[in-house]
C-alpha cells in the first residue's frame, strides 16, 4: 500500500513539473514575441530622429556658410559667419555699439500712440478686468511680477521690471535703445504704451534683455486694457 501511494505521488510530481515547464516555455515565447517588435520599432524611431537631426544640422551649417536674403524690404541678409565676424571687428567696439543702439531704436518702425488713449477711463472695472485676462493670455506674467508672494521666473532671470508697490507716475532710468545712453522717464500712460508698442526704444536700466513682442501680438485696444490693469496694481 505504501508503494502504491509513493508511485502515485511520484507520477503527480512529474505531471506537475511537466505543466510548469510548458507554462514557462509558453511565457518565454510570449515575452519574446512582444519584446522583439518593440525593439524594432524603437530602433526605427531612433534612426528617424537621427536622420532628422542630421538634416537640421546640415541646413544650419549651410546657412552659416552661405549668403541668403532674409528680408528684402528691410535689407536684411545672412552672411557667412566668418565674414560677419570680420565686418563687426572692422567696425570697432564703439562703432558696433552705436550701430546696435541705432538698429534697436529703429527695429519697430515709427511709433504712433493710439489716438484715443487720453479719452480712456483707466479706472473702469470692466477695462481693468479685460486687461487682467490679457496679462495672462499674452503671458506678460512670466516676466513681470505683480505679487510679492508669486515670483516670475523668467523675469527674475532677465531682471525685468516688476509691477509691485507705488510705481505709477514715478521716475525711472532707461536706456535709449538697447544698452544706449541713460535717460529718466516717468512711468505714465505715454511711457507704458511706447514700452509695449516699441519695446526696443527705451529699455529699463538693469534689464539684461529687452522685451520682445511678435508683430501684431498686441493691438491698440488691448494695450489700453493692459495699461488699465497695470495702473490698478500701483498702490
Average pLDDT over the chain, rounded to whole?
A: 76
pLDDT in tens, 20-43: 667 667 666 555 555 555 455 567
**Which residues does 165 contact at the CB level (< 8 Å), separation at least 6?**
234, 235
Q: Averaged over 196-216, what is the pLDDT?
A: 79
pLDDT in tens, 93-151: 666 666 666 665 565 544 455 556 677 888 999 999 999 999 999 889 989 999 999 98
pLDDT of residue 47: 81
Write out the three cell numbers for 19: 505543466
Q: Report CA-CA distances (Å) from 94 to 51, 145, 180, 197.
A: 44, 35, 11, 28
pLDDT of residue 199: 83
- Residue 216 falls in which region: left (phi positive, over 0), alpha (psi -120 to 50) or beta: left
Any idea where the domains of the chain sit in the sequence? 68-106, 117-233
Q: Report CA-CA distances (Å) from 228 to 84, 115, 138, 145, 231.
A: 44, 16, 15, 16, 5
User: In terms of CATH architecture, what is 117-233?
Assistant: Orthogonal Bundle (1.10)
pLDDT of residue 162: 93
Write out the three cell numbers for 87: 565686418
**Confidence label for 5 from pLDDT (cuts 50, 70 and 90):** very low
DSSP string, 123-185: T-HHHHHHHHHHHHHTTGGGTS--BTTB--HHHHHHT-----SS-TT-EEEEEESTT--EEEE
Q: Quote the longest CA-to-CA distance of the chain.
A: 113
Q: Which residue has the higher pLDDT, 130 or 16?
A: 130
Q: Which residue has the higher pLDDT, 205 or 106?
A: 205
How far apart CA 38 and CA 71 sit, in angstroms, is 46
Q: Which residue has the higher pLDDT, 157 or 65?
A: 157
Q: Provide the whole-model pTM.
A: 0.54
Residue 169 reports pLDDT greater than 90:
yes
The residue with cell 535717460 is 183
What SS3 state is found at 87?
helix
Q: Averaged over 175-204, what is the pLDDT?
A: 87
Q: Averaged over 76-82, what is the pLDDT?
A: 73
Tell the burial category of 174 from Cβ atoms under 10 Å away from its Cβ (0-12, 13-18, 19+): buried
Amino acid at each position: 500500500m505504501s508503494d502504491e501511494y509513493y508511485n502515485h505521488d511520484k507520477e503527480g510530481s512529474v505531471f506537475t513539473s511537466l505543466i510548469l515547464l510548458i507554462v514557462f516555455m509558453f511565457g518565454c515565447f510570449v515575452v519574446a514575441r512582444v519584446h522583439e517588435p518593440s525593439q524594432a520599432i524603437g530602433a526605427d524611431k531612433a534612426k528617424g530622429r537621427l536622420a532628422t537631426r542630421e538634416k537640421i544640422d546640415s541646413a544650419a551649417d549651410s546657412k552659416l556658410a552661405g549668403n541668403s536674403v532674409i528680408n528684402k524690404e528691410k535689407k536684411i541678409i545672412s552672411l557667412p559667419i566668418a565674414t560677419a565676424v570680420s565686418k563687426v571687428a572692422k567696425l570697432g567696439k564703439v562703432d558696433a555699439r552705436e550701430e546696435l543702439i541705432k538698429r534697436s531704436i529703429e527695429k519697430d518702425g515709427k511709433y504712433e500712440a493710439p489716438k484715443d488713449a487720453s479719452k480712456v477711463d483707466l479706472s473702469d472695472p470692466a477695462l481693468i478686468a479685460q486687461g487682467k485676462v490679457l496679462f495672462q493670455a499674452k503671458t506678460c506674467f512670466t516676466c513681470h511680477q505683480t505679487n510679492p508672494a508669486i515670483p516670475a521666473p523668467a523675469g527674475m532671470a532677465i531682471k525685468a521690471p516688476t509691477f509691485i508697490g507705488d510705481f505709477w507716475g514715478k521716475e525711472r532710468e532707461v536706456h535709449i535703445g538697447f544698452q544706449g545712453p541713460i535717460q529718466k522717464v516717468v512711468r505714465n500712460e505715454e511711457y507704458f504704451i511706447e514700452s509695449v508698442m516699441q519695446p526696443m526704444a527705451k529699455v529699463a536700466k538693469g534689464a539684461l534683455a529687452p522685451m520682445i513682442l511678435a508683430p501684431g501680438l498686441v493691438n491698440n485696444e488691448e494695450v489700453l486694457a493692459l495699461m488699465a490693469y497695470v495702473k490698478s496694481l500701483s498702490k
